[in-house]
Amino acid sequence: MGLTSGTTLVTAVAAAVVLFSVTVLLWPRLARRGWRPVAGRVGLLLATQLALFAAVGLAANRSFLFYGSWADLFGQEQEMGVVVDHGAASKDVRVVGKRALDVPGGARPSVGGQIQQVVVRGDRSGITSPAFVYLPPEYFQERYAKRTFPAAVVLTGYPGTAENLIKGLKYPRTAYLQAKEGRMQPMVLVMLRPTVAPPRDTECVDVPGGPRTETFFAEDLPRAVSETYRVGTKPRNWGFMGNSTGGYCALKIALHHPDRFAAGAGFSAYYKAAEDVTTGDLFHGDRGLRQRADLLWSLDHRPQPASSFLVTTSRSGEGNLKGTRDFIAKVRSPARVSSITLESGGHNFTTWNREIPPGLVWMSGKLRAD
C-alpha cells in the first residue's frame, strides 16, 4: 500500500478506532496492581496514540503531499535523477519525463493528453526551475496539428510543490474534463511553484541584486514555452493563475505585464507582498518597489491595463475578504474584474478545488487560440 493511497489511510483510521475500543473494553481488567496490568495499560495507550498520530499524519500528507512514498518519508530515496532529453525545440526547456493522465484511454496522448516534466532556464533572469507542462489531447490530434494553443501559467502557494497542482488541486484532470464536456477550450498548463530560488519566498519580485523572479515568470517562462510548444506569443494567448502566494503572483504579473498576459486569476490571493523571515529583504529600502508590489496601491496610482482579473474569497473562513472587496472596487476600465465569493471556505485545498473548475472556464473564455 502506497503512502498516499486511500487504502493506507483507511487502514490507519480503522486501526486507531479498534485500538481505542480495545482500550476502553480492557481497561477495567487492567486496573489492578502489578507490573503486568501496568505494562498492559502503557502498551495500549502507546499503541492507540501511535495509531492516531499515524492516521492524522497520513491524512495531512495525503492532502498536502509532503512525501510521495514510504522511501521518500524514511529518506531512502537517494538515487540521483537521470536527465533524459526528448528533443524539445527550445534550448531553454528540457523535457526530463512524461506521464499519462489517469483517465479512460489516458495512456494514449491523443485521448488523455500528456504531462511533461521539464526544466526551464531563463535567459534574462538567470533562473532555472523545474515545472510540469500539461498538453491536452487535442495537441496530439491530427486535426489540430497546425493550431497554436492558449496557455496559462499555474502557481501553487508557498512553500508548496508543483506536484500539488497535479495530485492535490487536479489542474490537468479538471482541464481535461471541462474541455471534454465543452465548457472550456483546450489549453496548455505550465505548472510551477513560486519558489524558484528555494528555500526563499521571493513573492515573484525582482529583488535588487537578485533573484529576478518577476522577470523569470513574466518574460523568460512564456518565451521559452512558446519556442518549445505550439503556444501563441501574444497577450491574448496567455493567462496566469494560482492560489495563495501563487494567486498574488498571478494578479500582480497580469497587472504589471499586460503586454504578456491578458488575464490573471488569484484563488485566495492576498494583495501586498509578504515581508517576513521567509522572504528576507525584498526591496532593499526602495519605496517605489514596495509600493509597486502592493496591488491596491498600483490600481490607485498606475494606469490600469486592458486586462481581466478573477479574485476569490469566502464570507466565512478566508482572511482576504476585505482585500478582495477593495481590489474589486479599485479596478477601473479598461481593466475588468470578476469574482467568486463562497459562503464559507478556508485557506485550503478543499476550498480551491471548488474554485478551480469555474476558474479554468473563466480563464479559457479570456484567452484565444491562433
| Nearest of 260, 369, 259, 367 to residue 310 by alpha carbon | 367
pLDDT the model gives residue 302:
94
CB 118 within 8 Å of CB 132: yes
Amino acid code (one letter) for 286: D
pLDDT the model gives residue 40:
75
pLDDT the model gives residue 198:
86
Residue 120, CB half-sphere, CA atoms under 13 Å: how many?
Answer: 29
End-to-end alpha carbon distance in the chain? 46
CB 19 within 8 Å of CB 47: yes
pLDDT the model gives residue 89:
46
One digit per residue, the tens of pLDDT, for the chain of length 370 reads 666 667 787 888 888 888 888 788 877 777 777 777 777 778 878 888 888 888 887 777 665 555 555 655 665 544 444 444 444 445 789 999 999 998 999 899 999 999 999 999 999 999 999 999 999 999 999 999 999 999 999 999 998 889 999 999 999 999 999 999 999 999 999 999 998 888 899 999 999 998 999 999 999 999 999 999 999 999 999 999 999 999 999 999 999 999 999 999 999 999 999 998 999 999 999 999 999 999 999 999 999 999 999 999 999 989 999 999 999 999 999 999 999 999 999 999 999 999 999 999 999 999 999 8
Strand partners, 338: 310
Report how far residue 12's alpha carbon sits from residue 3's, in angstroms, rounded to the nearest whole number.
Answer: 11
pLDDT the model gives residue 86:
41
* Cα dist from 271 to 113, 160, 205, 244, 247, whole Å: 35, 19, 13, 10, 9
pLDDT the model gives residue 80:
41
C-beta neighbour count of 284 within 10 angstroms: 10
pLDDT the model gives residue 32:
74
Q: Which residue has the cell 475588468?
A: 336
Report how far residue 252's alpha carbon sits from residue 273's, in angstroms, rounded to the nearest whole number.
Answer: 10
3-state DSSP assignment of residue 183:
coil
What pairing do the DSSP bridges indicate for beta strands 151-155 and 188-192? Answer: parallel
